[in-house]
Amino acid sequence: MTTEPVKPTRMELIRKREQIRLAEQGRDLLREKMDALVREFFRVMNEVSTSREGLELSARDADRSLLIAQAVDDPVALKSASFATKRRVVLDIDSRSIMGVPIPVIEKKSLALGVLERGYSIVGTSGRIDEVAEKFEVELDLIIGLAETETTLRRIGHEILMTRRRVNALEQVMIPELYRQTKYIKITIEEREREDLFRLKKVKRMLDRRKRQSRDAAAVTET
């Protein structure tokens, strides 16, 4: 915070106190938000963890089918079939918001094809190759789900970081500075009041003396 010159006035003191109240209120709200974000973060983390485990199992299953098809049918048979496959996956990506954090919603628009429409002849293509296509399609679904949850986790994580930074700024910089300033104002005002009092007393003493002197002088002339 820049150290703007603080006017040590009573008005300013009232303003600073109001600022402190607002800053502390803001900090408490942010802390609450952060608690909620952290709770959500761990919930999503569990979801990511489960999805990822599912993906790993599915990937292993798909890779195994692929391996067997490559081993038995030769990779060229797969390559040839892949030229002909009519399967096409496209995505629809939208977004919604969790606690003000924008997160993606992904939908798969796929042409699920029966054997008669998949593009390559049913004769002469081993069932192993169809199995590869199906297993990898399952894997795709899981990847899409994980892309959603993983991005959500990352975004919430980012929001937690930002919120924590703001809480820290309030708590460690702004609020202490405001307290310092009010203290300064209070001290300055008190000091000034003390000085004023002292000066007043001094003036009074001076006036008293002057009054006394003129009274004495009057008495002398009368005698």
Partner 1 sequence: MDQGYINARVRGMYRTLLGPDALRNLILVPDLDAMISELQKTPYREELETSCVRRSSVVCIEDALRRHLARVYSKILAMFDDQRESREARYVRIFLNRWDVHNLKTILRGKSIRSSPEEIREALVPAGTLDEATLVELLKQNDVRQVIDLLATWNIDYAKALTPNIDEWSRSGQLLVLEHALDRYYFQYARDAVRGRQPEAFALQELVGTEIDVTNLKTVITFIRDGIDLEDGERFLLEGGGELTTEVLSGMVSDGNLGKAGERLEGTRFISLRPLLTEAQNSGRFSPVMKELDWHLIRAGASLFRRDPLSITVVIGFLYRFLIEVTNIRIIARCRDAGLSDEELEAELIHV
Partner 2 sequence: MYKFMVLTDPDTAAGFRMAGVDTWEAWNIEEARRMLPELMLEGDAGIIAVNEDFMQGLDERLMNRIERSARPIVIPIPGRSRKGGGMDYIERLLRRAIGYNVVLRR
Instruction: Quote the least distance from Cβ 124 to partner 2, whole Å.
Output: 16
Please tell me whether residue 127 binds partner 2 under the rule CB under 8 A.
Answer: no
Q: How many residues bind partner 1 (CB under 8 A)?
A: 29
Q: Give the 3-state secondary structure of residue 4.
A: coil
Alpha helices in 74-169, H assignment, sequence order: 75-84, 127-168
In this structure, are residues 78 and 62 in contact, taking their beta carbons and an 8 Å threshold? no
Cβ closest to partner 1, residue 112 vs residue 206: 112
**C-alpha separations of 223 from 54, 71, 218 in Å:** 119, 140, 9
Q: In sequence order, what E strands does 16-164 have?
A: 89-98, 101-110
Find which of partner 1, partner 2, none residue 168 binds, CB within 5 to 8 Å per kind.
Answer: none
Please tell me whether residue 138 binds partner 1 under the rule CB under 8 A.
Answer: no
Instruction: Quote the least distance from Cβ 130 to partner 1, whole Å.
Output: 7
CB-based contacts of 157, cutoff 8 Å, min separation 6: 41
Binding site for partner 2 (CB under 8 A): 41, 45, 48-49, 52-53, 55-56, 59-60, 62-63, 65-66, 70, 75, 78-79, 81-82, 85-93, 104, 106, 108-111, 129, 132-133, 135-137, 139-140, 143-144, 146-147, 150-151, 153-154, 156-158, 160-161
